Every structure is written in C-alpha cells, then in structure tokens.
Structure 1
Amino acid sequence: MTDRPTPTADLLSFTAYRHAVSHAVVALDVHTERDETFQGALDAAVAGDIHVFGIDADQHSVHRTPGLIARAPQQYFKFSLIERGTGFIVQDGREISLRAGDMAIYDTDRPYSLLFDDTMRMSVVMFPKVMLDIPAETLGRLTATRLDGTGGVGAMIGPYVASLARGAAELDSHLARRMFRTAVDMVGTLLEANLGPEATSTDAHGTLLRRVLDYIDEHLHDSELSPGEIAAAHFISVRHLHAVFNEQGTTVSTVIRTRRLERCYDALVDPQQAHRSITTIALANGFVDSAHFSRTFRAHFGVPPSSVRAG
C-alpha cells in the first residue's frame, strides 16, 4: 500500500469497508484483490436526502448491478471528484479514465462500475434526481464522461466539494443543509456548462420542464395543487404533463411531494423559524394533515420531523 494522508475517518479492514460502502444509501458490490492488506475509510454526512462522502481506500472496485437496482431502486445521481489516484467509470456503454482533479456524474438506477487500481481519495455528493432541472434524456449525454476540474465552473466546484466532504460532520444541521444544497446547485451549473447553450436554451422539452418545476415551487402552499391545474397553466394536456415526468423516471405527484418535504426540512432546521410549530410548517407547504405529514416525512428522510427540529 502506498502512503496516503491520514483520513478523517477510522481505517477499516476490507470486510468492514465493504459493509460500510454497500450500506451507504445505495447497495453496491465491492471487490478487491488485496483483501488481506486492504485499508479504507469512509466519512459520511447527510442533510435531508443529500449525502456527502469522503472516501480513502486502496485498490478496489464497486459495482451497481441490475440485480441490486431491481431490489432497491434509488432515484439519485452521484457526483464524484477524484482527489488522488486514478480510476475508471463505466456506465451507459461508456468507459472513461479519471485522474486527480477530474469529476463525473452517474445514475444510481442504471448499472455502473468504478474501478481503482491503487490508493485513491474521492469526494462524492449524492442527491435526488428531482433536484436538477435538466431532462433525464439530456443529462444522459454526460453520465460516465470526464468533467474537467481545471478550469471554468469545474475549477470552482472541485475545491468546494473536497472541503465539504472533509468538514461536513462539523457543521450544524442548518449550515449543512444550505451548503449541501449549494453543492447540488453548483453541480447543476457545471452540467449545464458541459451540455452547452444549445442543449440548455433551445431544448423545448427542457424549457417546459423548468417552467413546470418553477410553477410547482411557487404553488407548493396550495394543498389542491394537481396535475390538471399545472397542465392548464402551461396550455398542455394532462397526458403530456405525465409524459414529461415519466421520461424523468418519476411522476408529477412524487415531485410535488418531494419538493414539499424538502421545503419543510429546510424550515425545520432553520433557527429563524424555530418559533413555528411543525404542524404550521407542514400546513404552510400544502400538507393537510399533521399525522400524514409525519409518516410521509419519516418515510422519505428516515427520521421523524421532531428529530430534525431537535437536531
């Protein structure tokens, strides 16, 4: 094993590392040819449904297989920054080599593999697909492609993600949430820059999607918000609206519910809103029943809203 800077998390044996990685939100198969001498470390932090990881490890590979996807689908993207070492990423029929400073994005609901031949350091931001206002078919052009971190937007986001992965555990819940969301916004900006102006400004599908998502965000307070109302506001049929979101791998109701939950989470961790009750926050964001809100919140985030407020 080559020398590495001391990771912030405890070093793990291969068995412990494999368990930690394969249970970090998305199930993965993990392999190494050096299981006797392998050492790895995994730092993980979560704010709502955005996850940030810092990974230090020796030679190994991870695989998201069709079987794992079928058993546990996850509507997430992973954005990775290679800080040290080299590796390969394979998805959607593409295989690229990554070295220090390179970045890549990949879809957790399609098979992928990451392969590292030696000691490596990687920072990862994992977030729900619905947080990006880019059509899935458009974004599919960038999965498993090299995103340059040496210039432009890439040179700005790389240091931010790297420092976030190292310091996330020390942030309070409100700051972590804001900084994690900033990271996702920066990823979206980087992806749009790599798609080019033609893909982001002249794509009618993408323009419609962004308009619909903006409309949803502006009307989350309305408990009666429905596909029919959204379709009418954009002069399209309900069938067309459903087709737009079906192509994203989701539904209109799922997006409305997720964005309501995201907004409630933001309010619950905001010290400036500590005077508002959980029920008040839920009702202000379109939920009509506090018990239903609590069940839905827990199912989505894994914890009840009272724990988020207390944290």
Structure 2
Amino acid sequence: MTYSVTTAGAPAAQQFDLWESAVSQTFVPLEAAPGERSAFRGRLRGQNLGSVAVYEATADAHTVRRTQRAIAKGNPEVYKLGLQLHGSARLSQDGRQAALDPGDFAIYDTTRPYTLAFDDVSSTLVLMFPRDMLCLPSGHVEQLTATRFSGGSGVSGIVSSILVQLARNLDDPQVYGSVRLARNVVDLLGTALADRVDYSNVPAESSRGALLVKIKSYVETHLNDPALSPTEIAAAHHISTRYLHKLFSDAGVTVSGWIRQRRLERCGQDLADPSKQQLAIGAIGARWGLVDASYLSRAFKTEYGLSPSEYRQRSATHRSD
C-alpha cells in the first residue's frame, strides 16, 4: 500500500514542522529550513519495495541537512538516490556539489553530512537502500557522491528513464515487478556508477567485483545488439571467455542467462510503458536484441507467467483502475 502524507489541511504555522517530521521519519533524521513563504506545501508518497524505499517528494522551496547531530539520532547506513522530476536541486556532500535538473540524479551517503537545497517548487524521486545492496565497494561510491548523472544517454539515461516510469506508477508498482524491479534498479545504478569510478587505485581484493560491474555496464549498453555474445564481451574487456564465465558463475548466474533476463526486463518495461503502446511486440523485442518473435513469446511467458500481449493488457488495465 502506498504511504502518503501532505501538509494540506494543517495550520500554516505547523505545515513545515509536519514536513520535517515526515521526511525524517520516512528516510533518516534530518534538519530542515523553509523558504520565504509563511505557508508550506509538501506531499510525500511512496512505499517500501523489499529493502528499497521508493518515494516521491513534492514541496515548496526549502533546505534539508544531514548534520552530525542528525546522524547521532539515527544512522542506518543507507545510500539515497535523488532523481529530479520537476524543478531543480543542489546536493552537497564530500566537498562536491551537484546541480540537478529534471532527469538528472545523484547518489549520497547518509552516514556522512550532506545538504539538499530546493530554491523553488520541485519534485524528486528518492530511492533509499542498504549500502551492501550496491555492488561497489563503499570507497568507490565515496568518489561519486554529489556527482551529477545525466538522464540523457548511456546507462545513467536508462536508470533515469526507469525511475521516471516508476514515479508515474508509484500507486501500482506491480506493473513493473515490485521488489524485483527495485533490486534491478539498484543493480543498474551500480553499472552507471562503475562507469565513473577511477580504477587506478582499486584494491586487488575488489578488482574482480569491479570488473564484473564494468562488464555488466557494457552489456547493458549493448542489449540491442542481437549478436552480443560471451566471446565479444570477453574480447572487449581483454579477458578470456573462460574467465568471463567464472566471474558470472561466482555471482550465481550465467552470462547468457543474465543477458536474457535483462533483455526480457527491458521488454517488460516497454510493454508497460503507455508511450510505447503503438509499438508492435516484435519491434519491442528487436529493440532489445530479441529478433525472434516466437522465442520472445516463449521466454517472456516462462519468466513472467504471461505472454507479452497479456502482460501489456494487464499493465493497461492496472493504469485504468
């Protein structure tokens, strides 16, 4: 069930206090300061998808700070991702500042101080998840806090588009697979971050994990190539195919199985996307490297229990309810 809280209806003098309490209880303890308006409009809605909290926050101008005092009140050791849906934001942490416009996102670590400033009415999608869910060492992530990731292209563009769709369907997360989708979004975020990590100082003990994340990032950006193969992937990363298979095997998956899963998930997202309702199912499959329509139908039904057309119809039905 979607959780929702709004300042509407509360006395003007109490509206901002209500907002500060809501965001502190929903996420982590925070200190906040309002803008210049005497009244404050704010709405927070969302839900927990397994270990991942997914919320949309829409509010007037204000600033929130994760201070050392707030950290002392509660420190659950989680990462947060903020994606701007409307308006702009400025995120500061670890000596960096990221200016975020619609479609952009950034990651921040709740175990250290940070500041988020919204100069006008804005809407932000926030993901919060345990730090150990991200498949990158914390030292690598620390290089990238308060760094702007553009929603325009590459893996970060894929992450952004999925999050925008998720925001549009917060009241019906089952359309996108609920807990499984949340896990996949965090995995995708890991690949986007991996592209920006400086690997020159990667410790030897974490090099295998870092390489796997980098390989997954490569795969993610080449899903549309039907000829994508373990041989090509290994060659692109200057390793043997045997070592490539071992990397994935140690992670509990096969190379081909992981590629197939990601392609089917991308097809599922397109099938559930109302802006792509005019695309033929075969065209959606070909868009993600599955050019054989009969194979797509069989594999999709095995994975989701529904044919692609049934999945699309169910998604449309959920949106109209």
Letter in 1 for 2:27: V
Identity of aligned residues (%): 32
In the alignment, structure 1 residue 146 sits paired with structure 2 residue 148: yes
Give me the whole-angstrom Cα distance separating, in 2, the residues matched to 1:215 and 1:138: 24
Give me the whole-angstrom Cα distance separating, in 2, the residues matched to 1:69 and 1:215: 39
Cα distance change on mapping 1:40 and 1:160 into 2, 3 Å:
same
The residue that corresponds to 2:183 in the other structure is 181
In the alignment, structure 1 residue 171 sits paired with structure 2 residue 173: yes
In the alignment, structure 1 residue 204 sits paired with structure 2 residue 212: no
The residue that corresponds to 2:159 in the other structure is 157
Deviation digits for residues 39-68 of structure 1 (CA, Å, limit 9, x no counterpart): 011112102221011111110011111112
The residue that corresponds to 2:194 in the other structure is 192
Quote how far apart the aligned CAs of 1:96 are: 2.7
Quote how far apart the aligned CAs of 1:207 are: 2.1
Give me the whole-angstrom Cα distance separating, in 2, the residues matched to 1:10 and 1:75: 25
Higher relative contact order (CA 8 A, sep 6+): 1
TM-score by length of 1: 0.61
Q: Secondary structure at the match of 2:149?
A: coil
Gaps of 5+ in 2: 8-14, 213-246, 253-303, 306-321
Cα distance change on mapping 1:206 and 1:121 into 2, 3 Å:
same
Q: Cα RMSD over matched residues?
A: 3.0
Give me the whole-angstrom Cα distance separating, in 2, the residues matched to 1:50 and 1:104: 16
Q: Secondary structure at the match of 2:171?
A: helix
The residue that corresponds to 1:98 in the other structure is 100
The residue that corresponds to 1:77 in the other structure is 79
The residue that corresponds to 2:113 in the other structure is 111
Q: How many positions carry a matched residue from both structures?
A: 211
The residue that corresponds to 2:238 in the other structure is none
Quote how far apart the aligned CAs of 1:206 are: 2.1
Cα distance change on mapping 1:199 and 1:146 into 2, 3 Å:
farther
Give me the whole-angstrom Cα distance separating, in 1, the residues matched to 2:250 and 2:81: 26
The residue that corresponds to 2:67 in the other structure is 65
Contact kept? 1:22, 1:30, Cα under 8 Å? no
Cα distance change on mapping 1:166 and 1:16 into 2, 3 Å:
farther
TM-score by length of 2: 0.59
Letter in 2 for 1:92: D
The residue that corresponds to 1:15 in the other structure is 17
Give me the whole-angstrom Cα distance separating, in 2, the residues matched to 1:55 and 1:100: 14
Letter in 1 for 2:164: A
Give me the whole-angstrom Cα distance separating, in 1, the residues matched to 2:248 and 2:69: 36
Give me the whole-angstrom Cα distance separating, in 2, the residues matched to 1:145 and 1:174: 28
